[in-house]
Structure 1
Amino acid sequence: MDFTPQLRIPATYMRGGTSKGVFFRLDDLPEAARVPGPARDALLMRVIGSPDPYAKHTDGMGGATSSTSKCVIISKSSKPDHDVDYLYGQVAIGEPFVDWSGNCGNLSTAVGPFAIANGFIDRARLPQHGSFAVRIWQANIGKTIVCHVPIANGEVQETGDFELDGVTFPAAEIVLEFVDPADDAEGDGGAMFPTGNLVDDLEVPGIGTIKATMINAGIPTVFVNAKDIGYSGSELQEAINADVQALAMFESLRAHGAVRMGLIATLGDAQKRQHTPKIAFVAPAADYVASSGKKIAAGEIDLQVRALSMGKLHHAMMGTAAVAIGTAAAIPGTLVNAAAGGGERQAVRFGHPSGTLRVGAEAVKVDDQWTVKKAIMSRSARVLMEGHVRVPAEHGAVG
């Protein structure tokens, strides 16, 4: 039996925010994987090491969590006034599929530095020192992200003293602007709130009728009150991720919310759309201890939020979900706003399992419809490794 040698594909392994992923230039991919379809999905799954029944990703670049099973494809932008197109694939761990239905806000932070380091930006445009705004077209959801990358000596500055809860070491601060983040194309309502309501009664068999705020901003998200599902809002990963019944309850809530939002037609469709919507629960501010052992005082935050990603409680907070949190917090009447104490606000600091995060969002009501023009947050990014990934070429995995 003949065995073909592995392919060598140029790639960069990067941290962005509290996530990690494998970054590719579109033109570096095998020809069959340069277009959407089975060949591309097979390639990315093999790079990450999925599907893995052991849930370890031992034979791939993934980390067997939703935060570390990610791939990014960057190309010269197809849109005017943008520098790059950014396509994000969330690779399932135990199932053979890649979810292209949403964005990763954390990895958005790394797109700007990658674009500069990989020649997508004319060097003559870069300052010697200061900051450079990389305009990104987020191709999954059709939105603009502006990534303000610090520059030192004409190169991307990666080291610094900016600390981000959920990331062990400090790095340079990168400011992200999510422009017009309400996902108007999602849902049957064609608006930030696809049901037309700030709060809905979500009927879920076996659970009951739960109050829910369902919003399309950053990423489609279903928010519920922690107390309504038996939680305090201070939970860490171990309190939920080892509880099979709890995970099944959250998935049922998520699936019913997805149907109400018009994201899927039937409950069965939720299994193939695991990345969106997110399911999150909120609670008023309270003292708690983060996963690092850091003590978070109620006075440091406006509310607590916990969110699940790809079926498990996230160790910190997804960047896109943070946009949804900030937007919903700015709109009086939502569950998120109520948990934060109500009233009008343009920024919110919330507690998550790894610590705290501040996000700004200014929402306005126009013609009886809520809209948000921009959401802003600070993150950091760093190159962890660059070179080539090796991928077995048998079984037509790469076309």
Structure 2
Amino acid sequence: MTHTFTHLPQIKIAATYMRGGTSKGVFFRLQDLPEAAQVAGAARDALLLRVIGSPDPYGKQIDGMGGATSSTSKTVILSKSSKPDHDVDYLFGQVAIDKAFVDWSGNCGNLSAAVGSFAIASGLIDASRIPQNGMATVRIWQANIGKTIIAHVPVTNGAVQETGDFELDGVTFPAAEVQLEFMAPAADEDGEGGSMFPTGNLVDDLEVPGVGTLKVTMINAGIPTIFVNAEAIGYTGTELQDAINSDAEALAKFETIRAYGALRMGLIKQLDEAANRQHTPKVAFVAKPASYVSSSGKQVIAGDIDLLVRAMSMGKLHHAMMGTAAVAIGTAAAIPGTLVNLAAGGGAKTAVRFGHPSGTLRVGAEASQAGGEWSVTKAIMSRSARVLMEGWVRVPGDAF
């Protein structure tokens, strides 16, 4: 008796599983993707959804590489850069967990830390740009948002140095430090959402039905972000994940604030569009320094930080801080009068250390004012990155 199977066998695609900052993702070279997925569109999205294990109504991503959190449901595609004075083009896809969509609307600042390392190890960087020993400067074109990121990647004996003693709160083990410079992180005049402050104001009154009228700072730097004072929404700024993520009412409130903020920022035209744009904008709440115990049990002392920040990502409170939101925090802190700046004590600032659920993070920004308009030349922060696994991912041949 002969069996005829109508199901296509699995195919394998070269990929690398990497940690970058406090996130993890599956990294691909564009040239290694199946032909149909080498261009943006439905086939690419379907492939990445299957790789990660979405959409999963169980919310676990058991049948894929995702880790069922916004920090671990991520994909990256890299190619040699088509832009002059850049080494590599970096495209980031935030994969929804329980829905069938990939959000291409923003960057992942954490995974940005792994881009330079992956590009060097994957042969995407000209050998002439990699020192035998020292610091490789990788010029990254962030294709989602049309921005330049400079990564300073340590190299030892011609290979990326991944091990080291740099500690990053939210990551258990130390690794080598990678410094990132987010160049001109605010939106361009012709960029989506217009200028750095889409409304033209440092602080706005945002009417949110069912919540009230909130003072907010809406900024487009690193990633579009809506900042609100913690006390205005009933929080202290010292909250850990469970305090918010176990509270369905709170999550719904944040999503409402996000949707009305997105509308006010010009990122969406109708309120219901927010549902299909989960990655951006972010909502974060700020407060003056206070002591608390971080999620690892480590004490964070009020005197060691400038302010407290908690941020929502993909509908949940983030376990640490998104790298792109850290850019927004550093940028807003550098501009006197924003809610972030005021929470940090006001006045001119070139760097702040803020407390997040996993500990603290320092971010710097260079801001200047000309003709009443603020601009930021760059935001700087340190992360680390490491290859966790490399080889091939497998997906059913009819998955895309």
TM-score over 0.5 for the pair: yes
Tell me if structure 2 keeps the 8 A contact 1:162–1:170.
Answer: yes
Question: What do the CA deviations read for 1:127-148 (whole angstroms, capped 9, x no partner)?
Answer: 1211010000000000000000
Please name the residue that 2:278 is paired with: 274
Task: Please identify runs of 4+ aligned residues in structure 1 that moved more than 2 A.
Answer: 122-125, 184-188
Could you tell me how far apart the structure 2 residues matched to 1:342 and 1:62 are?
Answer: 40
> Is the aligned partner of 1:230 residue 2:234?
yes
* Structure 1: runs of 5+ lacking an equivalent: none
Tell me if structure 2 keeps the 8 A contact 1:186–1:216.
Answer: no
Please name the residue that 2:260 is paired with: 256
Q: CA deviation at 1:126?
A: 1.6
Residue number among 30, 35, 44 corresponding to 1:31 in the alignment: 35
For 2:186, give the aligned amino acid: A
For 1:215, give the aligned amino acid: I
> Is the aligned partner of 1:194 residue 2:198?
yes
Q: What SS does the aligned partner of 1:248 have?
A: helix
Tell me if structure 1 keeps the 8 A contact 2:94–2:104.
Answer: yes
Tell me if structure 1 keeps the 8 A contact 2:180–2:383.
Answer: yes
Tell me if structure 2 keeps the 8 A contact 1:176–1:378.
Answer: yes
Residue number among 214, 232, 242 corresponding to 2:218 in the alignment: 214
Please name the residue that 1:87 is paired with: 91
Judged with a 3 Å threshold, the aligned counterparts in structure 2 of structure 1 residues 260 and 186 are, in CA distance, closer, same or farther, namely: farther
Could you tell me how far apart the structure 1 residues matched to 2:150 and 2:333 are?
Answer: 22
Please name the residue that 2:180 is paired with: 176
For 1:81, give the aligned amino acid: D
Could you tell me how far apart the structure 2 residues matched to 1:222 and 1:171 are?
Answer: 32
Number of aligned positions between the proteins? 395
Please name the residue that 1:350 is paired with: 354
Structure 1 residues 125-134 or 148-157, which shifts more? Answer: 125-134
> Is the aligned partner of 1:366 residue 2:370?
yes
Judged with a 3 Å threshold, the aligned counterparts in structure 2 of structure 1 residues 201 and 187 are, in CA distance, closer, same or farther, namely: farther
Could you tell me the TM-score, scaled by structure 1's length? 0.98
Q: CA deviation at 1:187?
A: 5.0
For 2:118, give the aligned amino acid: F
Q: CA deviation at 1:269?
A: 0.3
Q: Percent identity?
A: 75
Question: What do the CA deviations read for 1:299-328 (whole angstroms, capped 9, x no partner)?
Answer: 110000000000000000000000000000
Could you tell me the TM-score, scaled by structure 2's length? 0.98
Could you tell me how far apart the structure 1 residues matched to 2:141 and 2:100 are?
Answer: 27
For 1:169, give the aligned amino acid: F
* Structure 2: runs of 5+ lacking an equivalent: none
Could you tell me how far apart the structure 2 residues matched to 1:214 and 1:255 are?
Answer: 13
For 1:165, give the aligned amino acid: D
Residue number among 99, 119, 132 corresponding to 2:123 in the alignment: 119
Residue number among 118, 140, 144 corresponding to 1:140 in the alignment: 144
Tell me if structure 2 keeps the 8 A contact 1:187–1:194.
Answer: no
Tell me if structure 1 keeps the 8 A contact 2:80–2:125.
Answer: no
Q: CA deviation at 1:186?
A: 4.6
Please name the residue that 2:249 is paired with: 245
Q: What SS does the aligned partner of 2:275 have?
A: helix
Please name the residue that 1:333 is paired with: 337
CA RMSD of aligned residues (A): 0.8
Question: What do the CA deviations read for 1:18-67 (whole angstroms, capped 9, x no partner)?
Answer: 00000000011010000010000000000000000111110000000000
> Is the aligned partner of 1:324 residue 2:328?
yes
Tell me if structure 2 keeps the 8 A contact 1:186–1:262.
Answer: no
Q: What SS does the aligned partner of 2:144 have?
A: coil
Judged with a 3 Å threshold, the aligned counterparts in structure 2 of structure 1 residues 118 and 187 are, in CA distance, closer, same or farther, namely: closer
Could you tell me how far apart the structure 2 residues matched to 1:137 and 1:10 are?
Answer: 22
Q: CA deviation at 1:276?
A: 0.3
1:32-181 alignment runs, 5 A limit: 32-181=36-185
Question: What do the CA deviations read for 1:72-113 (whole angstroms, capped 9, x no partner)?
Answer: 000010100100000000000011000000000000000000
Judged with a 3 Å threshold, the aligned counterparts in structure 2 of structure 1 residues 361 and 129 are, in CA distance, closer, same or farther, namely: same
Judged with a 3 Å threshold, the aligned counterparts in structure 2 of structure 1 residues 350 and 281 are, in CA distance, closer, same or farther, namely: same
Q: What SS does the aligned partner of 2:135 have?
A: strand
Q: CA deviation at 1:125?
A: 2.9
Please name the residue that 1:386 is paired with: 390
Tell me if structure 2 keeps the 8 A contact 1:186–1:263.
Answer: no
